[in-house]
Amino acid sequence: MAKRRAAVRAQALSLLLALPVAQACELPGGSAEKLRSATHTIVYRAAPALRVGEHFALELAVCPATKELRVDAWMPAHRHGMNYRPSITALGGGRFRAEGLLFHMPGRWELVFELRADGKTERVAHAVSVE
């Protein structure tokens, strides 16, 4: 099992410039991916670890805190998304939990985060490869 887990490597490539983060934006406990939009920082972690063909959730922190967040994913090369629409629970203070995601094929996926704040919408995409 451990070997299989090791075989499923999640390689994250930020599609955005790796700019210095202006403020601390963290998720407690362990490593997490950190992304920047023009006005926000998004930190996320998959739980359980990302494995092809298995449901997973995302723990998220958005700074500065927003009240609305959408999460989706698609496979650009295959021109399809997931077969599931994640549900988002706002935990307060910019923390969210997205549940119900499933990558049903190996390859390169793009997680898409949509933030809504002050009447504006921002989208941040993050490429993730699963084997």
Partner 1 sequence: MRRALVVVLAALAPAALAFTEAQTRAIAAHGPWPPAFAPDPSNRVSGQRDAIELGERLFFERRLSANGTVSCSRCHVPERNWTDGEPRALGLARVDRNTPGLKNARLQRWFGWDGANDSLWAQSIRPLLDAREMGLGAAQVAALVRGDADLSCRYRKVFGAVPEEDEAVLVGVGKALAAFQESLVSGRTPFDELRDALVRGDAAGVSRYPEPAKRGLQIFIGKGRCHVCHLGPAFTNGEFHDTGIPFFIDKGRVDPGRHAGIQKLRASQFNLLGRYNDDLGRATAIGTRHVTLEHRNFGEFRTPSLRNLALTAPYMHNGRLATLRDVVEHYSTISPDRLHADGEAILRPLQLSVQESRDLVAFLETLSDGGGRYERRLLSADCR
Tell me: does residue 106 bind partner 1 (CB under 8 A). yes
Q: Does 48 bind partner 1 (CB under 8 A)?
A: no
Count, residues near partner 1 per rule CB under 8 A: 25
5 near partner 1 (CB under 8 A):
no
Q: Does 131 bind partner 1 (CB under 8 A)?
A: yes
Q: Nearest-CA neighbor of 131 among 51, 32, 48?
A: 51
**CA pair distance 113, 60, nearest whole angstrom:** 10
Asked if residues 131 and 19 have their Cβ atoms less than 8 Å apart, the reply is: no
**What's the min distance (Å) between Cβ of 90 and partner 1?**
17
CA dihedral 48, 126, 63, 97 (to 10 degrees): -30
Which parts of this chain interact with partner 1 (CB under 8 A)? 3-4, 7, 52-53, 55, 75, 77-80, 82-87, 99-100, 102, 104-107, 131
